[in-house]
Structure 1
Amino acid sequence: WRWGFTSCLSFYSILNELNDYAGQREVVAEEMGHKVYGELMRYSQDLKGERKHHLQEGRKAQQSLDQCWKHMDNSKKKFERECKEAEKSQLIYERLDSDINATKSEVEKAKSQLYLRQHMAEESKNEYAAQLQNFNSEQWKHFNVAIPQIFKNLQDMDGRRTVKLGEMYQSFAEVEQRVIPIISKCLEGMVTAAKNVDERRDSGIVVESFKSGFEPPGDFPFEDFSQNIQRTGSDGTIGTPKTEGGKPDPKHAVSRTKNKLWLFGKKPKAPTLEDLSHLPPEQRRKKLQQRIDELNKELQKEMDQRDALNKMKDVYEKNPQMGDPGSLQPKISETICNMEKLRSEIHKNEVTFPEDHPEGSYTDDHSQEHRSPPQPDPHEFDYEFDDDDPLPAIGHCKALYSFDGSNEGTLVMKENEVLYIIEEDKGDGWTRVRKQGGEEGYVPTSYVEISLEKNSKGAVTYI
């Protein structure tokens, strides 16, 4: 704050007060984490276990009642079956007893069978009555004792949960209440800082700092062009003009005045070119290197962000309750797109980076400040490449995304397209590949899934 502007000093004071305000919010967050959130999480786990126990008791009571009903139903069906058999035996006995052709042994046998069936039916009846009485008793206990007790336990548990919530609400309010006085002081400090802003003082500082010191321009002199004509009454000849040595030239005065009025006009702007070609070679080299370093820092940040998102996605895939892995994919794609843009900018600046050759030629025209590199003979190196074979493939890759290949030296590829690798990534984010048709070029490494051959550097697959 070397200028001492009251608006800047007030802003600095407000930042200090905001720092204290943020500290109090951190205190609230810590208290909430330890006393409120932590206590609620522990109590919630206890309630889950207790609720599970009560529900298990309810299921056991229901299973016991179902078992009693099953025994009662089986005894009922058995009693019904034995009664039908007894009725059938009675009909057989009555038919044989009234038949004059039936022998005495047949009648006695039918009679004994009737007595046996009647005895079995009586036993089934007694068993059915006992099972029915037992089921009715168990059903009464189930609906009048067991289930009400289970519901009462659940109701008591929910009541304790509600009371605990009220206690946590009170704890939260008490934490906020403790920091309110300090926060009020911070806000009062902000109000005081806002009132200390003095627009007249700030304006005076600007005037004192940037005043030109120029004197206001004087009045323009009257230019009498009739002085050059000398008239006489006798001969009417034209005399020679008279000049005063100390009289200033009005044109020069106007030019000086115009030079003083640039404060309210537009200054001439220096030419700004994207490749900084208007600068001298050494200065241009420094500027380009500075720009490349800044882009590399931004690229590293994007790479770190991509790695963090991938780790978070793995955590979400292993623990789906923590979050949806699909929600991170748009952010990962955006980060990859930003990385490719930064790599493209780095590559563009590296291409325009000046070479370390002092013998570069310059044009004689001073209006052109671009350095022109020496042009080699187009036939000088023809013999070196006439018989060269294409580079061997060291692996293959599969395109994960489409790439338009708009930059010079890049290759257009489509999604899921298989390409041959002829040169690995040298650390700049680009891999040299060849299509099956023989077309070669560079593609972004992060856009392809690479598999190198074992005889080159071992089978490696990465994205």
Structure 2
Amino acid sequence: MMLPVSKFFTVQEPSNALLSYIQKGIDFFERIGQFSKEKAAIEEEYSTKLKNLAKKYAKKTEEEDEVLKSVSYISAFNSFLYQLDQIAGKHHAAAESTREDIVAYVSSKACQLRSSRKNAISDLKTINDILEDHINDMWKSGKIYSRAYKDAESAYQKFYKADKNLEISRLELEKTRSHAMTRNEICEKAKSDYSKSVSTTNSEQKKYHDELLPVIFSRLKAVDKECIGDMSHVLQKLITVDECLSEGIGCCRQKTQKIVNNIEAESDSQLVLDSVEAMMEKPTPFDFEDLGDPKDCDSRAGDSIDGKHKSEALMPILKSPNKKNLLGNFLGIKQKEPEKLESPREVYADKNKPAHVRLSCLRSKIKSMEKELEQATQGREGITRLQKAYYANPQHGNPDACTAPLISYAKKIEALNANIQDLKELYILLEASAESSTPTERSFGGRDTPDTTRSMSGCSTNVSSTKTLEDGVFQIRERGGSSGDDSSKNIIRQILTTPKRIISSPRTPKSAPFSATNTPVRRKKDISSPVLRSSFSGAIRKMPGSATSSPHRSISSPMKIDKSEILVTVLFEFEQSSAETMSIIPGEELFVQETDNGDGWTRARKKRNQEVGFVPTSYLQFPVASICITPP
């Protein structure tokens, strides 16, 4: 803000020069504050990068072998990293001190200086306006006096001219004289006013230059002086902060120097050498063995074994511990163990478990892996957002630190997707294998029977065909390599397009007078346990009527067998669940006493101890040629 230059006095130009100088001083003071702010930001950024660097390499040294950490140079480097972290903390403290003490101080003082300068300018403008008003009044009075003087002079000239003229009357002469005297009085009054105005203006001007203006200039000088003093104070604070920082860094460097001086190359090398020598085994001395006289070869013709001379067997085979591994373990060189990947065949293709159990395990595993995939995806999204935040605000963290987790998440997601796809293909395979035996199972066994391979009327169980199909797929999956996925997909496609009569077990022979399709199916709500079956069987047998007229007779009456007793083999383990059932183990042989009537249970007798009880029909393997069941 500058004062307008007046044409009546020239004090505004020096005043404006002084005001401009003070304004430049305040601007320069604010520049120092901006410099301090940027310096604090640089210190903060340097501190962050230094801390990240120390943390990065400290983490790497933590992964070293414990024995390797015992050498002096490793501990010296760890101490060096610790002191480096301390130096970063000193820089951070210096940045905080600069930001809180200096930048805030400069901001408040700059506002105060601007306010003081503004008040001084306002007062200077006020006294300038007062003096200018007096000067304007003086000039107006001067103009009035000059005009009155000219009028009075003209009136007297007319009077003198009329007084010399003898032709005018006395009345006109007196009138001219009276007019001249009136103008003279007006001129004297204007002269008096002008004189007073000049005197007042001179006194105000003297007061302005002698009293008022020096006061304003002294105030502006005080503002400028205060500004310069604040500059000196701020620069001194910056020096103090740098001195404190230098002292802290110097102390850390002295400690670092002491640590580095403690590195002993001889002792470290000797330590490694002693450790290696301690692990080395001294071999036993070689013994000399005399093979005898070569002339006696005929008498030693039988000493050779398989065409190899006895001397060949005397060559020592030195077997000692793997010193390379021992030395590598001591030096922290850990050999990477191959990852043990469990194939689906090992985990979910256990032939000792029913198909429905394997399908349930597969479903649970797929759900678990999908949940893990979702968590990995969410984790990758979180790391991505964090990296973007670090790119936007580098002071909050290093965005490059997020690269390794992102790569790890990407590999994990890729592996999970591949495993989920493989397990889904395996699930389709097992499901198709189970469905291939469902029609014949349901016609002979009840709804309570597990979804496993069941015995069929006049045929063997479907276990062999199902296992063969699964074995083929698993062999292709294990051999496939890059083409494993395509091979498994082709086999699954073949399974889904192959007729069920080919996949399922052989049909009942044509000679069988009773086919499985004609066997009545017992509903679950009717009789679903061997206890109910045993209680109802006697009563139903006594009911008259043929099988066609009474469906209960075909359901609950025992089915007759061509042979007196059929020997079956147990496929799966079963625990006794009631008084009517009995426990069985895989491989155990049983004699069939009463065949399955549609409820999924077969009454059998153990071969070894003659124990009799009900067992699940689907847990038994019937011989192909022996199961010729006829209706009663």
Q: TM-score, normalized by length of structure 1? A: 0.47
| TM-score when normalising by structure 2 | 0.37
